[in-house]
Amino acid sequence: MSPLHTPLHPRRRGVAAAACVAATALVLTACSDDGETGGGADDPIVVGISLPLTGDFSEPGKGVQRGYEAWAEFINEDGGLLGRQVELKILDDQSSADRVVQDYEALIAQDEVDLVFGPFSTRLVVPSARVAEEYGMLYVEPAGAANEVFEQGFENLFYAAPAVADDHYNYLAEQILAMPDGERPQTVAVASMDDPFAQGTAYGLRDKLAEGGLDVVVDEVYPPNTTDFSSIAAKIDDSGADMVIGGTQYQDAVNLIVALQQLDYQPQLAAFSTAPTNPEFADAIGDKTEGILSPTGYTETASWPSNVDFVKRYTELHGNPPGEDEANAYTTGQVVAAAVEAVGCAEQGECQQQLIDWLRENEVDTVVGPLTWDETGKPQGAHLIQQYVDGEIQIVLPKDAQEAELIHPKPKW
Amino acid sequence: MTGTLLFQSLVLGVLLGGLYALLAAGLTLYFGVMRVVMIAHSAFLILAAYLAWFFHQQTGMDPMLSLVITVPLFFAVGVGMQRLLITRLRPATITMMSVLLTFAVALFIEGMIGFVWGGTQRRIQLPYSGDSVSFFGAQIAVVKLIAFGLAALSLAGLYLLLKHSRFGQALRATIQHREAAQLIGIHTNRVAGFGFGIGLATAAVGGTALSLDATIYPSLHWHWIGPLMAIIVVGGLGSIPGAAIAAMILGIGQSLLQVPLGTTWAQTIFYVALFATLMLRPQGFFGGRLAQRF
Amino acid sequence: MLNASDARPAPGTSGRAPDDRAVAAGRPWGRIVRVAALVVGVALVLAFPTMVPNAYILSAGIVVVSYACTATAWNFMGGFTGYVSLGHAAFFGLGAYGTGLLIRDVGLSSFVAWIVAGALVLLVTIPVGIAALRVRGASFVIVSIAFVLILLLVFQAWGSFTGGSDGLVVPRPFPDLLRPEHHQVFFYLFAALLAVMLVVWWAIDRSRFGTGLKAIREDEDKAQALGIPTRNYKLVAYVVSATFTGLAGGMYALWFGDLDPIFQFSIMLGSYMVLMALLGGVRHLFGPALGALIVGSGLEYFKLEFGDTQLHLVATALLLGLVVLFMPDGIIPAVRALLKRFGPEDSSIREVTAAELLERNRTASHDAPSRDTASTTAAATAPATPTTRQEDGR
């Protein structure tokens, strides 16, 4: 871990200033900002980040944190950015939109960070992107994949992953629709968390299948804090759908699958977003994973030059290869670093607009492959489809990246 | 909607109603003995579930064995809470202030759970988590059946205790008319303390039952306290049979409504019932004289 | 901060706080000090945006002022009538969402939408108030919490109308302003809203209506017996309180811009209001605002210092517990009592709460049983004899 990196004790000055507010307005003048100003050749480049380290999104949030930390560490080992060391300033937003705005406000206005990276989850990306925009900061984010993010008219936002949520299942949809009549599932049951990302993935697939002539027989939405899935599972079971699609994060997928198992519901195809790529997933559902499908934007075995290096160094550091969250965070770092190196500056003000303009025009090589963006910041790519085959999660689609054959129909769970 | 689905929902409703009944019985008991609305009841429920999870995590043994520890522990905490906190409040303002005090206790528990075990969701994975038995075409998960069994046994035990023991008589006398109970020589103070302890013990049993088949996280208790409070108002504040009956009816109602309305809207049944009760029969549908003026 | 309203002798309102006025009349310099304190306080609030080192501190200041607004609004009900509502966040959320939805769906301009949303909250509150006020004490609290929970469910589930869990984006009223300027404008808007609330509270405090409400707080049955239309009085107080809370919520929506059901309809927000008001002192004009200053800055501090843990919940819990157990009347009376010890003994009549009176009588009577037994008396005889039924009022 970099010696400069201080994730747990952020903004002493902020605390001092807040304490001043607490004490009385009278002493506020004593709290005036006498702190650092960036720009000196030897000063570190400070990157401000707010992540959900507690609350609903804390599992993926910690993954993103590991990815950012790995990026900063590797880049510092390689001599830094523009010859300056990189320092991360990570705050916890408790998965709360109120908090994330306050955090970015503090990072930009009070701590005067040189760059900002995005937080996790679409719900937190939109409010914080607005803060960044109003301060004119470049805003590259690792996790706001839902369409909604790109409909807000942000001019400073770039999503550092291959595809937006709606397109995650594109390869799977093509594959299913190309199946011969006898094999192709006829009915689909959909259950999704009321969350822009989760719904984006599930509804992208649902709509493509519905257009292709499949019947959507169950279409359920549940709020993020749902823990009892027995009635949703009962409905899916009762419909006898051939295929089940779960627009899920992590725990809800586990609960839904266990509830379906309790009812002994056996679909031909089962696709869930996010959860199956989590290393603890297999344990959590009692190792009955065989045949479960999931989209992913990242595979550790991809042969992109920077990925080989990233996987090797990350594995040396942590003892296990990076997952999707880590890779997306690392990608964010790579995208910003590419812009910074090309433009030759990293500070607030004019520089940020130059970085934004550069990214609009150029392609960046990352661990998830080369990325380009349209004018809304949407990446122009597609996700891979993974499936549990022989107890391992492996790439099954598209054909040219395949590690194993797609199993259909899925074995019993 | 098919007949099977309806029957399946009905069975799920009964199983859920059993757990509601046990927890609501505890909540209404506090009100009976002390005129206290115990907001922290469901926080203790979640705490017990966390303790069961932690016990399973550490020892690898069945989480139900944690009852041996949590039930006496919670009983003692309940007695202590009544003695050390509730009785300190000014009698004239006890109803309002006890709400705030127990609210503070709930927040404290939530914060400490998050501090000690983190904010992530937890779930116990048992060898029989995915198993189920077939019952006239409905599939009933084994874990839900065990949870219901625990709740039903405890409720039956509570009933026997209240109806057929000297202590139970004293407790009921205290609930019905505290002053009169004192006049005939009942130590109402001690009885009230024990009443609190029993209430909290129901939370320990309920929490363990809950942990078998549910995901738990620190702020989950807010999702329980709302329905439970609605149940005890509908049942009549202070009336244990009323709470149990209302819990069963509303639990089944919620489960059946989930089929046409979805999970979120189905939950509103508790609040609709609460508002309807207040407009039509503020003393509750099963409560006696006691509930009338509260 | 001192209670400036208490400084002025007010003949004609014989029912209220005679001790303050007697003190003020006896010591004219007391009034001067209070007016001076008020002027300095106002000046500090007005100068705050120009004194802050950066926009972040200013935004923290806005949060504190918005807390002060909500706590003061809560106090119209909690302070005057003694009915503790833990569910005022419901009105905050309704005001916020009402404002946002009126802008989005009806196309009203920002501040018109804000006023209309306030009016809508007022209309919604009337039936809710009638239902909630059919009962006293415990049930009222239960209803107040249930109302927040039901609205949370509805706003989460009714996604097509409210935006559901995706949240709702409220357009900026001043799109041309830079962020720091935007903060400045809203700081003054919140401060103005707070000033309006304080003036209204002050006016009610001095009115017959206010006297009636306070009579309800001390003993609802006696108040009724004296001919006070308690139900209507409580309803009006409840509606005023809810409407102001709704206006604070709407203002927050215009300032913050992103609404999410979980954070707008949060029990925590409602509990902060209660904590702030109790801590400052519910019987005093500036009590809730003082509580908001302490709790609001404390929360901000705790979230910064211990942000990656749940310790701010524990801290809130401990503070609430301590206030309830040891300082239920708040800081202002506690400090006054302390000052009074060093000052000359004042001989005038004091305002005494029914609770204190009961306590005093009990300790005075020599064969007084334990405090628990006395509570029994009050509770057990409650339905029969109205005179011992104070507990329901608070």
pLDDT tens string C240-258 = 999 999 999 999 999 988 8
Over residues A4-21, the mean pLDDT reads: 40
Nearest CA in chain A to C298: A22
pTM for the whole structure: 0.82
**Has residue B48 been placed in a domain?**
yes
Over residues C334-362, the mean pLDDT reads: 65
Q: How confident is the model at residue C27 (pLDDT cuts 50, 70, 90)?
A: low
Q: Per-residue pLDDT for A366 more than 80?
A: yes
Mutate to test the interface with A, among B6, B7, B8 (most CBs of A within 10 A): B8
Q: What was the pLDDT predicted at A8?
A: 37
Instruction: Tell me the two tokens of residue B231.
Output: 């149940």
Q: Flag the least confident range among B55-59, B128-132, C54-58, C124-128.
A: B128-132
**Has residue B232 been placed in a domain?**
no
Q: Flag the least confident range among A196-210, B60-74, C45-59, C303-317.
A: C303-317
Q: Which structural domain, as residue segments, surrounds residue B68?
A: 14-218
Q: What is chain A's Cα-based Rg?
A: 22
Nearest CA in chain C to B109: C314
Domains in chain A, start-ordered, CATH in brackets? 12-163+303-371 (3.40.50.2300), 167-296+384-401 (3.40.50.2300)
Q: Are B181 and B173 in contact (CB under 8 A)?
A: yes
Q: Per-residue pLDDT for C76 more than 80?
A: yes
State the smallest CA–CA distance between residue C110 and chain A in angstroms.
19
Looking at the complex, does the CB of residue C352 fall below 8 Å from at least one CB of chain B?
no
Tell me the pLDDT tens digit for each residue of B195-234: 899 999 999 999 999 998 888 888 888 888 889 999 988 9
Q: Flag the least confident range among A379-388, B236-245, C4-13.
A: C4-13
Please tell me the total count of domains within chain B.
1
State the smallest CA–CA distance between residue B131 and chain A in angstroms.
6
**Has residue B272 been placed in a domain?**
no
A298: region left, alpha or beta (phi > 0 left; psi from -120 to 50 alpha): beta
Asked whether the beta carbons of residue B229 and residue C145 sit closer than 8 angstroms, the reply is yes
Instruction: Tell me the two tokens of residue A35.
Output: 């702190």
> How far apart are the C-alpha atoms of A120 and A394, rounded to whole Å?
25
Tell me the pLDDT tens digit for each residue of A303-345: 888 888 899 999 998 888 888 888 989 999 999 999 999 999 8
What is the average pLDDT score of chain B? 87
By Cβ distance, the residue of C55, C179, C301 closest to A18 is C301
Specify which residues B258 forms β-bridges with: none
Domains in chain C, start-ordered, CATH in brackets? 4-336 (1.10.3470)
CB pairs under 8 A between A and C: 118
Looking at the complex, does the CB of residue C327 fall below 8 Å from at least one CB of chain B?
no
| Chain A residues whose beta carbon lies within 8 Å of the beta carbon of residue B215 | 227, 251, 254-255
Chain B, 244-263: which have a CB under 8 Å from a chain A CB?
A: 255, 258-259, 262-263
Over residues C78-101, the mean pLDDT reads: 92
**Has residue B286 been placed in a domain?**
no
Q: Per-residue pLDDT for C2 more than 70?
A: no
Instruction: Tell me the two tokens of residue A233.
Output: 């599972």
Q: How confident is the model at residue B287 (pLDDT cuts 50, 70, 90)?
A: low
**Which contiguous run of DSSP H or E holds residue A400?**
none
Pairwise pLDDT comparison (C366 vs B194), residue with the higher score = B194
Pairwise pLDDT comparison (A254 vs A36), residue with the higher score = A254
Mutate to test the interface with C, among A94, A105, A147 (most CBs of C within 10 A): A105
Q: What was the pLDDT predicted at A6?
A: 38
How far is C-alpha A188 from the chain's CA centre?
A: 27
Chains near B with 3+ CB pairs less than 8 A apart are: A, C
Q: How confident is the model at residue A31 (pLDDT cuts 50, 70, 90)?
A: very low
Looking at the complex, does the CB of residue B223 fall below 8 Å from at least one CB of chain A?
yes
| Chain C residues whose beta carbon lies within 8 Å of the beta carbon of residue A54 | 308-310
Tell me the pLDDT tens digit for each residue of C251-308: 999 998 888 888 889 888 898 999 999 999 888 889 999 999 999 888 887 777 665 5
**Has residue B151 been placed in a domain?**
yes
Q: How confident is the model at residue C360 (pLDDT cuts 50, 70, 90)?
A: low
Asked whether the beta carbons of residue C304 and residue A18 sit closer than 8 angstroms, the reply is yes
Asked whether the beta carbons of residue A59 and residue B120 sit closer than 8 angstroms, the reply is yes
Pairwise pLDDT comparison (C37 vs A34), residue with the higher score = C37
Q: Where are the alpha helices (DSSP H) in B85-165?
A: 94-117, 142-164
Tell me the pLDDT tens digit for each residue of C103-146: 999 989 999 999 999 999 999 999 888 888 877 777 788 888 88
DSSP helix/strand/coil, C216: helix
Looking at the complex, does the CB of residue B111 fall below 8 Å from at least one CB of chain A?
no
Instruction: Tell me the two tokens of residue C341.
Output: 């010890």
Q: How confident is the model at residue C22 (pLDDT cuts 50, 70, 90)?
A: very low
Pairwise pLDDT comparison (A371 vs C350), residue with the higher score = A371
Asked whether the beta carbons of residue B144 and residue A58 sit closer than 8 angstroms, the reply is no
**Has residue B118 been placed in a domain?**
yes
Q: What was the pLDDT predicted at A5?
A: 42
Q: Are B229 and B240 in contact (CB under 8 A)?
A: no
| Chain B residues whose beta carbon lies within 8 Å of the beta carbon of residue C312 | 111
State the smallest CA–CA distance between residue A362 and chain C in angstroms.
30
Name residues whose C-beta falls within 8 Å of residue A90's C-beta, 6 or more positions apart in sequence: A7, A10, A49, A50, A51, A53, A65, A68
Q: Per-residue pLDDT for B149 more than 80?
A: yes
DSSP helix/strand/coil, A56: coil
Q: How confident is the model at residue A256 (pLDDT cuts 50, 70, 90)?
A: very high
Q: What was the pLDDT predicted at B207?
A: 93
Q: Per-residue pLDDT for B85 more than 60?
A: yes
Asked whether the beta carbons of residue A258 and residue B215 sit closer than 8 angstroms, the reply is no
**Omega prior to A409 cis, within 30 of 0:** yes
DSSP helix/strand/coil, C329: coil
Question: Beta strands A157-159 and A139-141: pairing type?
Answer: parallel
Q: Are C197 and C69 in contact (CB under 8 A)?
A: yes
Chain C, 159-188: which have a CB under 8 Å from a chain B CB?
A: none
Tell me the pLDDT tens digit for each residue of C362-381: 666 644 444 444 444 444 33
Pairwise pLDDT comparison (B283 vs C82), residue with the higher score = C82
Q: What was the pLDDT predicted at C381?
A: 38
Q: What was the pLDDT predicted at A121?
A: 77
User: Which residues from A are below 8 Å from B when comparing CB atoms?
Assistant: 54-55, 58-59, 94, 220-223, 225-228, 230-232, 234-235, 237-238, 250-251, 254-255, 258-259, 261-264, 283-286, 288, 413
Q: Per-residue pLDDT for A407 more than 90?
A: no
Over residues A195-213, the mean pLDDT reads: 90
Pairwise pLDDT comparison (A14 vs B205), residue with the higher score = B205
Q: What was the pLDDT predicted at C188?
A: 94
Instruction: Tell me the two tokens of residue C303.
Output: 């979230």
Q: Flag the least confident range among A56-65, B15-24, B135-144, C70-79.
A: A56-65
**Has residue B231 been placed in a domain?**
no
State the smallest CA–CA distance between residue B9 and chain A in angstroms.
7
Tell me the pLDDT tens digit for each residue of C379-388: 433 333 333 3
- Which residue do the tokens 């009169």 mark? B180
Q: What was the pLDDT predicted at B150?
A: 92
For A390, C20, C44, the CA distances from A27, given in Å and listed in that order, are 67, 30, 11
Which amino acid is it at B171? L
| Chain C residues whose beta carbon lies within 8 Å of the beta carbon of residue A126 | 167, 169, 258
Over residues A205-230, the mean pLDDT reads: 88
What is the average pLDDT score of chain A? 83
| Chain B residues whose beta carbon lies within 8 Å of the beta carbon of residue C291 | none
| Chain A residues whose beta carbon lies within 8 Å of the beta carbon of residue C256 | 98, 101
Q: What was the pLDDT predicted at C362?
A: 66
Nearest CA in chain A to C256: A98
CB pairs under 8 A between A and B: 88
State the smallest CA–CA distance between residue B130 and chain A in angstroms.
5
Q: What was the pLDDT predicted at A55?
A: 67
Chains near A with 3+ CB pairs less than 8 A apart are: B, C
Q: Give DSSP secondary structure letters for A186-245.
A: -EEEEEEESSHHHHHHHHHHHHHHHHTT-EEEEEEEE-TT----HHHHHHHHHHT-SEEE
Asked whether the beta carbons of residue B107 and residue C145 sit closer than 8 angstroms, the reply is no
Q: Where are the alpha helices (DSSP H) in A48-96?
A: 58-77
- Structure ipTM over 0.95, yes or no: no
**Has residue B282 been placed in a domain?**
no
State the smallest CA–CA distance between residue A139 and chain B in angstroms.
28
Chain C, 233-292: which have a CB under 8 Å from a chain B CB?
A: 267, 271, 274, 278
> How far apart are the C-alpha atoms of B242 and B14, rounded to whole Å?
16
Asked whether the beta carbons of residue A231 and residue B125 sit closer than 8 angstroms, the reply is no
Q: Flag the least confident range among B9-18, B89-98, C207-216, C373-382.
A: C373-382
State the smallest CA–CA distance between residue C376 and chain B in angstroms.
6
